[in-house]
Amino acid sequence: MNIAMDLSQKEELEIRKSIAITNMKRLVIGLTITALMEIFIIIFHDLPGIRSSESAGKWIYISYLILHGIISVLGLYFAVYFRIVTKRELARSISFYENCVYFILGIILLSITLITGLDQFTTGQIVAFGVNIIYSGLVIIIKKPYNNIMYITCFLTFIIEMIVFQKNKDILFSHLMNGAFFFVSAYFLAKFVYNNQVSHLHKNMKLEESNKKLQYLSNYDLLTEIPNRRYFKEQLEKLLMDKHTTCKSYIVVMDIDFFKKINDKYGHPVGDEILKQFAKLVEENITSDDLVARFGGEEFIIFISNMEKENIEERVDSLRKVIEKNEFKVGDTIIKITSSFGISILDGAGELSFEKAYRFADEALYHAKESGRNKIHLIKNYDT
């Protein structure tokens, strides 16, 4: 990126893409206005000049016409072209569109520089050169080496034109000094604008990345990398609002049997690893319509939807069997565990409905443990 900043390849591509989009949006407006102005100049300046000039002076207005025509035609073409470019096309070939931006900008700046040379035969002004070269550095975000190529080429062309076409030494000296000022101003302005834009975009990307991390930390359990209690309840509410079904939904509360003994025997690091493997195993054995979360400690919760009451026990029991048969390996140690499940029906959306269902599921879990653990229990007195 030609700036003293540590950027990953992904960050650099995103910044280049963002700059290309910004440049094309600005050029769509700028080129459209410029093209219309050039057409106006052709109609009311160049063509009348050709008709009224003597033969010796016609070449000046013909040259004006050619240069103004180039700017108007290319301006309109690229204004339309940049307008219809999609982000998908841009992502596939960022370099191509970057080069298109710098190509049309370079052509216009060089054409205006040549027009400034012709102005020495008519108005004797260099305003067009100065305004456009500085304006380009301010509005268009130009990176190295393109800024060097464009500005140095235009400035050298300007110097040659002034020496060849401007015969008044005092005016020549003034134009060269002013031209040098315009060149230096545009060059450093373009460099400042580019570096500032890259820095700004990079800071925004870092801020967005930090926000995503904070969002993740607020929604997911760091140990097991599955949703936490808060996010579970938030997503559950959305799921219940979106679902239109006559089938019942269920809350399943589960925990690992005798988990404290595992911690006491093998240590908490092993216990943490068991929790991670357990969460992954549960995730792998539920459907995409289900939602699982860690509710705290060794307790997990599952939301199961679109299932009739006569099938829910079979469904949960199949998960219980998967856990029972699984070997949890931590280092060289293989640990077998079981889990108990409490099931309740979730009747409707809302915080109160969930809290009620959770209470009954927790009660059902207590019954499952009291009856010997490694069991499931569907609470009977919550039959809605």
- Residues 180-205 have pLDDT tens digits of 999 999 999 999 999 999 999 999 99
For residue 1, pLDDT over 90 is answered with: no
Confidence (pTM): 0.71
pLDDT band for position 53 (cuts 50, 70, 90): confident
Q: Look at residue 244 in the predicted model and tell me its pLDDT.
A: 56
Q: Look at residue 384 in the predicted model and tell me its pLDDT.
A: 46
Query: Which residues does residue 249 pair with via DSSP β-bridges, in sequence order?
Result: 346
- Contacts with 194 (C-beta within 8 Å, 6 or more apart), sequence order: 3, 141, 142, 143, 147
Give the three-state DSSP class for 7: coil
When comparing pLDDT for 7 and 223, which is higher?
A: 223
Task: With beta carbons less than 8 A apart as the criterion, state whether 193 and 138 touch.
Answer: yes
Q: Look at residue 308 in the predicted model and tell me its pLDDT.
A: 81
Helix axes 58-84, 94-119, angle to 10 degrees: 160
11-30 confidence digits (pLDDT tens): 899 999 999 999 999 999 99
Q: Which domains does the chain have, with CATH numbers?
A: 9-214 (no CATH), 229-378 (3.30.70.270)
For residue 350, pLDDT over 60 is answered with: no
Q: Which of 222, 132, 237, 242 is nearest to 179 (CA)?
A: 132
For residue 382, pLDDT over 60 is answered with: no
Rg of the chain over all Cα atoms, to the nearest angstrom: 36
- Reading across the β-sheet that carries 339-346, which strands appear in turn? 291-296, 299-307, 248-256, 339-346, 376-378
Q: Look at residue 174 in the predicted model and tell me its pLDDT.
A: 97
Q: Which of 179, 61, 65, 52 is nearest to 121 (CA)?
A: 61
251-307 confidence digits (pLDDT tens): 999 999 999 999 999 999 999 999 999 999 999 999 988 999 999 899 999 999 888
For residue 10, pLDDT over 60 is answered with: yes
For residue 108, pLDDT over 80 is answered with: yes
What does the alpha-carbon distance between residue 139 and residue 190 come to, in Å, rounded to a whole number? 9
What does the alpha-carbon distance between residue 26 and residue 24 come to, in Å, rounded to a whole number? 5
Q: Look at residue 292 in the predicted model and tell me its pLDDT.
A: 96
